[in-house]
Every structure is written in C-alpha cells, then in structure tokens.
Amino acid sequence: MTRLMISHGGALGDNGYIVPALNGLRKLYDEIYMCGSSQAFIALGETGLVDKFIVKPSAFESWNRDQQHDWLIHETKDIDFDTKIGFNGVIPGRYMFHAEDSKSELPLEWKRANASGANFFDAMSERVINSIVDSTTGESRLLSPDINPIGKRPMTRLTDKEQVWLSGFKRAYGIPDNAFVLGWQFTGSARIKWYPFFNTVIQQGIMSKYPLVYVVGLGDLDNKIQWNSKYHGGRFINLGNTVSFRQAYILTSILDCLVSPETGLMVFAQGFTHVPKILLATHSYGYHFTFPETVVLQSEAECSPCYNIVYDCKHDGDNPWSLCMGKIAPERVIEAIEKVINKR
C-alpha cells in the first residue's frame, strides 16, 4: 500500500489551490494523509481527496521546534510514508505576504511585478510535479496527460446525499424554477474582505428592479449588514452561519451568479465552469485564481493590490470599512450583475 503525507498550514482558499494537484495524486496513492490546521479539514474534509487528517492543535505555532517535532513524530509513529510533500511557502511568502514578513514592506510596484502572471493553482501543482519523481527515469509521475494538474480547476466529486440536497434546494426555500438565484458571500477571513455597500447593490439596485431575483447570503453576516428577511417578499435567503463551508461552495454550482470578495468560497467555486462569478478584488489582481467566467472588479484604491495578508488596513475616511473595499463603487457591481441577468 502506497501512502503520501502532505503538510500544509494554509487557510481555506490556500487549501483550494491544491485541489487540482490532489486530484492527480489521488490516482497515484492508496492513502493520502494531510497534516495541517483545522482549516484544511474544513476545506477538504468531505471531498474524498484526503483519507486522514492530522489536525495541529491551536497552540502548535507557539511551540518551539523541538516540541513541534516531537508532536509530529508521536502522531505519525505507526505510519510509513512513501512520499512527503510540504506546501508551505508556495503562495504566502512568495506572492502574498503576512505582516511579519519583511517583504510586506517592499514597494507596491515590486510586489505587483513579483506576482505578475502567477497562477496559484499551478504554483501548488508545480510543487507536486517537482516532488513526485520516478526514481528510475527521473521524470515526474504527474506529467502523464490523464493526471497532469497544470491548468486544471479545483473540482471535487459530490456525494449522493449532496446531490439530493442540491436538487431539492430551490423547493425547500420556495424559489421558483424560473428565478435568477444570486449568491453573495458576505465576509472572508479579514475585514478587507467585507463589502460595505451590499444593501445599496442588492436591496436598492437589483431586487427592486428585477422581481425574479432571489438572493442567497453566504458566509458570516457582519453585524453592520442590516437586512430584513421579509423585504421583497422573502426573496432574500440568509444561510450565513447555517451551512458548512463545503455546503456553501457546492451550493454555488446551482447559482446563476456568485458575488464574492477574495475568499475560499470563490477559490473553490472556480470548479464550476457554468456559473458566472463576480470577484471583488482588493489585495491581489484576482486573475491568479480565477477562470474566464469570473469578472474581476478591481478596487480603484491606489494601494490596491498590495499583496499583503492582513486582517484590517487603512479605512475609507471615518468609515469602519477598509479603503480598498470602499473603492469598488456600487454602480460597478450593479452593472456587472445586470450583465449576467440580461444574458440569461
């Protein structure tokens, strides 16, 4: 039996970047183990791509190197692995930078040029291609046409239970068959991923004008977003905090359009070719993890994109929201949504 150990400490979206590679690896190994944070389990736990997760305790990063080593040895002492791959440092530290990384302070021009043309899915896949090498030929085992992950989308299989849930979703929430179902991801892992003009775009700009539009709210509902679910005849369905991450992103497969900041949901939603998507881009140019059906609305703030991974940043005047998000005008979002509606 062949076993692979993967180590990865990334967040939800970072785990989405490795899905094309995992699809290829799944065909090469009998068992795939993954050691990472709880985010890895949340993102990949029901995909069938990983057999067993070794979840690091929350205090792991605060331990010294010897403590970390001893814990890892204890958790894997009875398992023999044919191959080990680490994904740390492929995206964060190379293209995107945490505040403690000295490169986060480099000029914007350098960081933008540094990331120019990069594809985050392919960057992860290249790490795997360079790691899984045939000992006899010296060639990568992932370069055969049927499993080569380069250029592939983050696609996972749906279980029978999930397919039943999706097929009955509209009926369960009273959504007519001819409705236009718009998904809106409210938040990501940071305040810079909260769009402050949701009500202006959706309540005033879209739902009052298009009576067949139903809106499904996903992600955590920020307490600054005020919405009465009875507005517009109950056409707003708030699923924030009520469905799992896995349920949220497979739900995007039956949407007519998805609007989202740079979040893990948008990363995984790239697996669904047929669903038009609108990305509210702030700290990257967005094309690094999107495909042609995704329209990228880049912030018009001078500091965007910054390629920094931060929770919060400079604000839009005295407003509570970040400058970069505030510089994506509601009119631009409304126009992008209307183009999708009118094409349908």
| Cα 107 from Cα 263, distance rounded (Å) | 25
Q: Which of 334, 120, 107, 318 is nearest to 207 (CA)?
A: 334
Give residues with Cβ within 8 angstroms of 293, minimum separation 6: 273, 274, 275, 276, 277
What domains sit in the chain, N to C, each tagged with a CATH number?
Answer: 3-131 (3.40.50.2000), 160-343 (3.40.50.2000)
Residue 162: what pLDDT?
96
Residue 223: what pLDDT?
45
Residues in the chain, how many? 344
End-to-end CA distance of the chain: 49
Compute the C-alpha angle 57/63/64, nearest 5°: 145
* Tokens linked to 290: 């999107």
The answer to whether 99 and 107 are in contact (CB under 8 A) is no
Residue 224: what pLDDT?
47
Residue 311: what pLDDT?
87
Backbone angles phi, psi at 148, to 5 degrees: -60, 120
* Tokens linked to 279: 């990305």
* pLDDT values of the chain reduced to their tens digit, one per residue, 344 residues: 899 999 988 889 999 999 999 999 999 999 999 998 899 999 999 999 999 999 988 888 889 988 988 898 898 888 899 999 999 899 999 999 999 999 999 999 999 999 999 999 999 999 999 998 887 887 888 888 889 999 999 999 999 999 999 999 999 999 999 999 999 998 877 888 889 999 899 988 999 999 999 999 998 765 445 555 566 778 989 887 789 999 999 999 999 999 999 999 999 999 999 999 999 999 999 999 999 999 999 999 999 999 999 988 999 889 888 999 999 999 999 999 999 999 98
* DSSP for 100-119, written as a single string: TSGGGGS-HHHHHHHHTT--
Amino acid identity, residue 66?
D
* DSSP for 190-241, written as a single string: SGGG--TTHIIIIIIIIITT-TTEEEEEES---TT----TTHHHH-EEE-TT
Residue 122: what pLDDT?
98
Residue 16: what pLDDT?
96
